[in-house]
Amino acid sequence: MKLNKYIDHTLLKQDATKGMFDKLCEEAKEYDFKTVCVNPSWIEYCKEKLRGSDVKVCTVIGFPLGAMTSEAKAFEARQAVELGADEVDMVLNIGRLKNNEIEYVINDIKKVKEAIGDKVLKVIIETCLLTDEEKLKACDAIIKANADFVKTSTGFSTSGANLEDVKLLKKGAKGILKVKAAGGVRSQEDMITFIENGADRIGTSSGVKLMSNQKPTDSY
């Protein structure tokens, strides 16, 4: 199991500075992580820093609330791809899902998928705010919208991924979607357990510590 290739090495803090992104990219190259995951204004910078490596650039859209218009999300996603993003993690409209406006949710995702073409689209459903029934409804909507992954968490709400959610989302994915577990991975043992139970990708700001089997201290 190549643990490094499960990791989206993440830096989404509001106060992140250039030096922090330099470190992120150097670590990603050293450990050959799958991606770095950054806010859109840092896509070009990280793309250049990673030139010549196998590490891709992932970005976040409609982040972290997911409550902006579908058109705004689509514009942001289209621009992100133009700037060099290889993968896009968008936030689902949580309130609309909880209101059972499923067609709205599907169309919201579809507009982003159409904007990014063949790039990988992961949909963050913020599991800590949903019932199990809502999580499964979200999976169905993501499948209907032709996205690629269901992702547990933004890392900016009340909690991140847990094992029970990973198992549930794996079931809801129906062999069509992949599952990204973000936040909540507290050790290399946790990471392996998540992967064995259905996680195809791990979102974490502690990739280096996980690879060296140290305990992460960050919340994401």
Residue 151 known to be catalytic = yes
Listing DSSP states for 168-186 in one string gives HHHHHHTTTSEEEEES---
Separation CA 12–CA 116 (nearest Å)? 21
| 26 closest CA partner among 46, 6, 43 | 46
Cis peptide before 40 (omega within 30 of 0): no
Type of residue at 43 = I
Collapsing DSSP to helix, strand or coil, 27 comes out as helix
Active-site choice (29, 49, 56, 89): 89
Residue 22 known to be catalytic = no
| 126 closest CA partner among 165, 85, 164, 178 | 165
| 11 closest CA partner among 1, 101, 2, 33 | 33
Contacts of 82 (CB under 8 A, 6+ apart): none
Separation CA 121–CA 210 (nearest Å)? 25
Residue 180 known to be catalytic = yes
Active-site choice (86, 135, 180, 200): 180
Active-site choice (151, 165, 170, 190): 151
Separation CA 76–CA 115 (nearest Å)? 9
Separation CA 186–CA 217 (nearest Å)? 8
- Catalytic site residues? 89, 151, 180
